[in-house]
A and B are shown apart, each in its own frame.
Chain A
Amino acid sequence: MADFTFSRLAVRLAFGVLLTTAATGCDLLEFSPNDTRAPASERDLTRKNLTALAQRPVPTGGDTLRFVFTSDSQRYYDDVPPLVASINQQRGLAMVLVGGDISDFGLAREMRWVNDEFKKLNVPYFTVVGNHDLAQNGREAYQRIFGPLNYTFTYAGTRFILVNTNGREYEFNGHVPDVPWLQQQLADTVGVRRQVVMAHVPPEDGDFDAAVTPAYTSTLEQAPRLVLHLTGHNDKFSVRQPVPERVTYISGYSVAQRNYLLLTLWGRHQYKLETISY
């Protein structure tokens, strides 16, 4: 009987090793760098992170919400593990927002390399698509690995709206960013105390569709609950508030700059901004 059990264990072990080898082999067996294949655990990451977030009570409790904003991890893989280690030391953190350009070449493997590190975060993370994520076959790869290019979610009374602003990637066709969609999301304020918009290309940038800029910025300025507009793309930290008492535009640090922003929101429009070096 003992022999039987042992042999069954051995068979199971051998089978396990075989399966692992086969899975690794299948993963290595790349059809094209532009293919969008990924194991199930590395697909639909946005949806999975949203599920994880929904199950987490607000760590700071009460009205306060704290999150990290980082951006442009593109091809700076050496800088990502220290970033993750530093973020994991922050207390009361609800989530991490990544302002796009996760990849450099728009390849699925690059997005998976970054996720290999970001999945070690103690909190869920959410990305918005960057222009580099749309290079090559990136539009398909991003949607497969992460999810929608425009999406929204509400947590701790705060509505996060993540919008694709990479107009140049669409030959400035007048539809990116999707302003009607943005207006709809900003207008839906049921159970929402405040709003945060995150995009990759800032509206004043040359890679933003200039034909859409006026409609986009006036939509933002007319949203009374919008507190912050976060962008990446140009690796230049800046904070500006063109209209008093309205939205604050924050351009964040790239991963390679070895800084990230720690944001704490409370009340209707109050926020605290800290720069953390790592």
Chain B
Amino acid sequence: MKPYRIRRMRHTATLLAGLLLGGWSATAQSTDAPTPRPWYVPDHAVLQTGGGIGMLTTGAGYSPSRHPHRFDADVLVGYVPARYTGHRAFAIFTAKATYSPFSVQLAERWRLLPLSVGGLVNYTPAAQINRNSADKYGYRGYYWWTTTLRAGAFLGSRVALSLPRATGGKREVSLYYELGTNDLYLVSYLPNRSGLSLGQILTLGVGAKVDL
């Protein structure tokens, strides 16, 4: 790996850690009457695997309305190691929105969000993903799709545990799964509903979210 890339990665890691720690310290300072946090401090941190956006994916997000249901808007960075790409590791950048319209109280501190629906777009800036340059098959309308940008949609569920904060108030720790697909799988399935089954185009993502 070239030195400047390592430097750049370190810089990104420092920035991310700073952002997360900033979130923690901002909540740590809050008292019984919580002071409003600066707009840019995220509401939660995310860790995910699968779902077409990385083997190890991390990021942060905002939840404008927390209870009784949630709307989450997340920004994530995923990593796919070289052994699963055949050549070089991928970084995948994702913007994702999830809405959970129902909430079921399971126990005093546990609740279930039985349905989550969401969508995402992601970008994989990998040179080995053959780009559809106009000088290739553009003249035939070949390769009409974008190679590095993908859109996806998913359905899932989420279980959340409410934990007291040392400074008062509560924070939720939740686990979720998502069954989804992407635009290319969908356009493969739609005209071939006898040749392909819905199960064949599904992807699974599993993750955790922690309120900051």
Contact = CB atoms under 8 A, between A and B. Distances in A.
A and B held together in a complex: yes
Interface stretch (B27-35, B49-57, B103-111): B49-57
A35 B85 contact: yes
Given A30-B203, A31-B84, A35-B85, A140 B188 contact: no
Contacts of B147: 135-136
Q: For chain B, which range describes its interface: under 10, 10 to 19, 20 to 34, or 35 or more residues? A: 35 or more
A137 B129 contact: yes
A141 interface: yes
B182 interface: yes
B145 interface: yes
Count class of interface residues, chain A = 35 or more
A137 B196 contact: no
B203 A28 contact: yes
Contacts of B78: 31-32
Most buried by B among A29, A109, A134: A29
A224 to B, nearest CB: 36
Contacts, number: 120
Interface stretch (B86-94, B112-120, B158-166): B86-94
A34 B90 contact: yes
B204 A28 contact: yes
Interface string B186-197: 011001111110
A110 interface: yes
B195 A78 contact: yes
Interface string A95-117: 00000000011110110010011
B204 to A, nearest CB: 4
A139 B130 contact: yes
B152 to A, nearest CB: 9
A32 B92 contact: yes
A143 B197 CA distance: 25
B31 to A, nearest CB: 42
A25 B204 contact: yes
Given A106-B130, A135-B130, A137-B129, A32 B124 contact: yes
Given A109-B185, A168-B136, A29 B206 contact: yes
A80 interface: yes
Given A31-B78, A139-B130, 6 more contacts: A29-B49, A31-B54, A31-B80, A36-B85, A109-B200, A168-B137
Q: Nearest 5 pairs between A and B by C-beta? A: A140-B86, A77-B195, A29-B50, A77-B192, A28-B204
Interface of B: 49-55, 78, 80, 84-87, 90, 92, 124, 126, 128-130, 132, 135-137, 143, 145, 147, 150, 179, 182, 184-185, 187-188, 191-196, 200-206
25 contacts: A28-B203, A29-B49, A29-B206, A30-B203, A32-B52, A32-B53, A32-B80, A32-B85, A34-B129, A35-B80, A35-B84, A36-B84, A75-B188, A75-B191, A77-B188, A77-B195, A106-B130, A107-B184, A110-B188, A135-B132, A136-B147, A139-B130, A143-B86, A169-B136, A207-B137
